[in-house]
Structures are given as structure tokens and as C-alpha cells.
Structure 1
Amino acid sequence: MVRDSSESHRRSASLRQAAGQLHAAWRQLRSSLWRAAPLLAGLSLATPAAASCQLIASGPQAPQTSGWVLPSGIKVASASPDLALQLAQAASLAQDEVGLRYIGHSTFEITSPKGVRIATDYNDREKPALPPRVATMNNAHSTHFTLNPDPSIEHVLTGWNPEGGPIHHDIRVEDVRIRNLPTNARGWDGETRAFGNSIFIFELADLCIAHLGHLHHQLTPDDLATLGRIDVVLAPVDNAATLRLDSLMAVLDGIKPTVVVPMHFHFTGALERFLARAASDGWAVTPYPTSSAVLSRKLQPEQRTVMVMMPGGG
């Protein structure tokens, strides 16, 4: 059966018009939220503090510039966007903006200004609706990896070496550099899995974002030197399977990020206990009613800030 071509053209034109209206509405909303961000998030337009991301790799993947100035900040984006809005958001990022969307558990979707999408701790349950270009995984439990990643994913980076020992990644995908720091992980029975986890570091849009994965031990001075300057940490706050609160706060004090985004808070009361401890340690706590935000160097918290995002699914 063949549809009438004029009807198809009319429908195509309507779809294009609707998509254009959606994109325009998104840009207007995003602009309004940008202006309201200091009120919504308790942020100020203070002069950015100097920071630098220590880029230690050598060879052809080493960056062309060293000593970058990397102040960090946050602004609010849309709440739990549907698929069309996700695409509009990725298309509208400025060159100094990074999209961050909390899917669930330890999985975030990070979007670069050029539209490179990365899914952290990619697994069979927590994953973006559209396959990302890059997926990172860790080997603690099946909620942090999959044996069957979507074949369309261009780069699948495991945080462990199937043959044993540490694994090292340092790649560039357009405007993103991705590297890792091998650490240990804890298994279901509490056993230590040597080099079963990696902290993945994402360098993009003059920001350095570290995803701690399933880290369950403190970091050494050498580890901290390898990480370098980190602006945003995605941190597990379960207070059980990964780090206890005292150890987690020590890790955060060592890394010294400007912003921490909690994850892995599936145990009852875990998030509340972490927020209470963070507040008592001098962190500002900023609850967000959304699963999405835009990170930018344009805005900077006056003090260390915990940015609480609720999971929004794929």
C-alpha cells in the first residue's frame, strides 16, 4: 500500500515545524534558567578561581596546551527531558558548556559541546535511550557493567583488565579526553578485587570531571597527582558497599573538587546521611528538582557545593 505523497509531505513539514518550535522553546527556557541560576542554585557570578588540570599523558594523545585555567560552576537545565528534548539540549550546548544527566545508580550521561555522549558505569539496566558514543564500565557488580554492550558504541572502556593487572586508557574523542586511574573494587562478599575499578576522568570544555566508580579505599598521594585538578566529582555515597562516610570525606578533601554530585545512594537513608555529613563539614548543599544540569565555567559556587540530582532514567 502506497501513501499519498502530498499527505506525506504535509506530515513531514509538520514534523519539521514541531521540531523547530521545540528547539526554540528549549533555547528560550535554557536562557531563562541561565538568568535564574544564581537564585535557584545559590550561586554567584564571582571571579573564577584559578585552577589547572594536570594532564600527565605523553605521546600523540597528549593535549596541545598545558596549565589550562579551569574554574567550574553549574547552572540548571531541564527536568527529566524526553528523547527529543535530549537531542535539542545536546545541539544547543555552547563551547564552554557540558551536559550532565543522572540516569540512575552510578550511570550519568555526559555530553560535550560537539555532541559526544558518554555513559558512565554502563550496564544492562541503567543506560541512555540512545546508545552513547563512549561507554565506561566497572567490574564491581552487574549494575556497573554489561557483557553485551550495544554494538554501535564506538568506544567501550572497561575499568578493569580481563587478563589481570591494571588497565590504562587515554583517548581523545573529538573535544573530549578520557583517561583513567585504576583502583581496587569490592565484590558482593566484601572481598577486594585488585584493579577491578577505575576512576574515569573526563576533560572537556575546560572542565575536569571524575567518576569514582565503585571506589572503596582512600587515595594515595600518587593517585591524587595522577588525577590532577578535578572540578566535579561524581561520588558513591552508599556508606556500605563502597566507602564509609569518613573515608569518602577524606577522599573528597584530597581531590578538592568545587562540586560533588552524589550517586549510588540506593540504601535507605544513605543520601540523607551523606548530605548531613557534608553540611557539617562545610559543604553547601544544593538540591535540584531535575535529573539534568549544564556545567559551565561561567558560574562558580562561592564555597564547595554538593549538587543533588535525582535519577531520571534513560
Structure 2
Amino acid sequence: MKIVTDPYDPEVGYKLPKISTKILTVSHDHFDHNYIRGLNSYQQLIFGDTGSFSNAGIKIKGYASWHDNEKGNLRGPNTIYTYEINKIKICHLGDLGHELSPEDVKAIGKVDVLMIPVGGFFTINSEEVMNTIKEINPKIVVPMHYGTEESRPVFEDTLAPVEDFTSKIQQQGWKIEKGGLLTLTKEKLNKLKDKTVFVLDYK
């Protein structure tokens, strides 16, 4: 089973591989997250929708949020998605622009893997990132939406590099790992001793 979330327009500086997927989710309608025509095919599209969905045993829930801290007045709505697969729960925050309320955190529930934007400017800032991780309390964090050499021609220096985030969270005792593929099982998660940040290769 394959899930794709927030496919990006190649104009952001990265080549989008030609792939097919069973499920496609889009957190918000911006060009760097909504390039659905870049996929070969998909069977189910969840485009900013909230509520509960299921497909082949995978449970998906969408939660309303905002792309900014002014209730969408600056950048519009954003949808947080959780995916439950083989007893593992993954939370993708999209381009979250504000801290979550206690009610939001309670609704999302226990999370194993948190995908969170860490580059700031368009999304939550550095302090809000750390607070959000603390509130959700995942075992693994996958940072996203940060600045790279490839993205600089489009976003210039608005997005902070991932190293700003990893150096800060490492000081709080988190282990940093890097690689092109993160493979998980519930058994592996249960045996995980250190809270871990996994930085995925983007090339």
C-alpha cells in the first residue's frame, strides 16, 4: 500500500518522481503541496478534507487548522492528517502556522511518527516547533519544509536549514539519524530507546 502526501511542483527545485499511489492527501491548496497532476495515477484523493476515511485497512483522519496564526487570514486553511497503518500512527502537520490547542492535541491522540515543518516563516517558528513536538510527544520526528540549496532560488533565505532544528533538538537529548528510507514496524518502535529525529534525504 502506498500513500503520497502533498506532491510538490518541480518549480520548488526538486524533481518529482513519476509514481502511482493508492491514496493521495493534500494538506492545502498551494503550488508546493498540490501538484496532483505530477503523479501517474491515484485511486483516492483527499484534498484538504476533514473527518475520517479508510482504504484497505488504513485509517486516515483530517483535522482543520490554519496556515498562519491569524486563522487563515494570511495564508488560508491547512489540514493535519493522521494515518494508522499496521498499528503505527503517523501525523503529517502540513504547513501548520500556529501552535495546537489542548483540544487539538487530544483529538489527534497518541502519535508514533510526527512529520513537522521546521523551516519557519511560512509555518510555525522554532519555539512553536519545539512546543508542538513536546505536546504531541512522538517517538520519531521527521522534519520537513526547510531550506536547501535547491529551494533557495524560489524561497531565497526565508526557510531555515534543517540543521538549525536538529542542533537545537539534539541539545534536548534527541538522537539524529539520516537516510533515504525510514522502515518501521510496531515491534521496532516498541524497542526504540531514544527519541529520534530522522532526516530524510531529498536528492
2:109 paired residue number: 228
Q: Specify whether residues 185 and 271 from structure 1 end up closer, same or farther in structure 2 by C-alpha distance, changes over 3 A only.
A: same
Q: Which has the higher contact order (CA 8 A, sep 6+)?
A: 1
Taking the TM superposition and a 5 Å limit, the aligned residue runs for 1:101-120 are 116-120=1-5
SS in 2 for 1:178: strand
2:73, 2:16 → 1: CA distance?
A: 27
1:257, 1:284 → 2: CA distance?
A: 13
Asked if 1:174 corresponds to 2:174, the answer is no
Q: Specify whether residues 306 and 151 from structure 1 end up closer, same or farther in structure 2 by C-alpha distance, changes over 3 A only.
A: closer
Structure 1 stretch displaced more, 141-150 or 231-240? 141-150
Equivalent residue in structure 1 for 2:41, among 152, 156, 160: 152
SS in 2 for 1:153: strand
- Max radius of gyration: which structure? 1
Give yes or no for contact 1:210–1:232 (8 Å, CA) kept in 2: yes
Asked if 1:282 corresponds to 2:187, the answer is no
State the superposition RMSD in angstroms: 2.3
SS in 1 for 2:62: strand
2:199, 2:8 → 1: CA distance?
A: 22
Counterpart code for 1:170: S
Q: How many residues align?
A: 185
Q: Specify whether residues 251 and 140 from structure 1 end up closer, same or farther in structure 2 by C-alpha distance, changes over 3 A only.
A: farther
SS in 2 for 1:262: strand
Equivalent residue in structure 1 for 2:187, among 277, 293, 298: 298
SS in 1 for 2:67: strand
Asked if 1:209 corresponds to 2:97, the answer is no
2:7 paired residue number: 122
2:81, 2:140 → 1: CA distance?
A: 16
2:162 paired residue number: 271
Taking the TM superposition and a 5 Å limit, the aligned residue runs for 1:45-56 are none
Give yes or no for contact 1:120–1:136 (8 Å, CA) kept in 2: yes
1:217, 1:271 → 2: CA distance?
A: 19
1:137 paired residue number: 26
Q: Specify whether residues 226 and 257 from structure 1 end up closer, same or farther in structure 2 by C-alpha distance, changes over 3 A only.
A: same
Write out per-residue CA displacement over residues 188-225 of structure 1, whole angstroms, 9 at most, x where no aligned residue.
Answer: xx95345x111110000110000110001000011011
SS in 1 for 2:60: strand
Structure 1 position 150, deviation (Å)? 4.9
1:186, 1:148 → 2: CA distance?
A: 26
Give yes or no for contact 2:18–2:38 (8 Å, CA) kept in 1: no
2:128, 2:186 → 1: CA distance?
A: 29
Give yes or no for contact 1:119–1:127 (8 Å, CA) kept in 2: no
1:245, 1:140 → 2: CA distance?
A: 24
2:152 paired residue number: none
TM-score normalized by the length of structure 2 = 0.82
Equivalent residue in structure 1 for 2:138, among 250, 253, 257: 257
Counterpart code for 1:123: Y
1:309 paired residue number: 200
Structure 1 position 119, deviation (Å)? 0.5
Normalized per residue, the structure richer in strand is 2
SS in 2 for 1:123: coil
Structure 1 position 259, deviation (Å)? 0.3
Name the % identity: 26
Structure 1 position 152, deviation (Å)? 3.4
Structure 1 position 132, deviation (Å)? 1.1
Write out per-residue CA displacement over residues 221-261 of structure 1, whole angstroms, 9 at most, x where no aligned residue.
Answer: 11011101000001111022211110011001000000001
Counterpart code for 1:143: D
Structure 1 position 117, deviation (Å)? 0.8
For structure 1, the residue ranges without an aligned partner over 5 or more in a row are 1-115, 160-166
Give yes or no for contact 2:64–2:78 (8 Å, CA) kept in 1: yes
Counterpart code for 1:272: E
Structure 1 position 151, deviation (Å)? 7.8
For structure 2, the residue ranges without an aligned partner over 5 or more in a row are 149-156
2:154 paired residue number: none
TM-score normalized by the length of structure 1 = 0.54
Give yes or no for contact 2:98–2:124 (8 Å, CA) kept in 1: yes
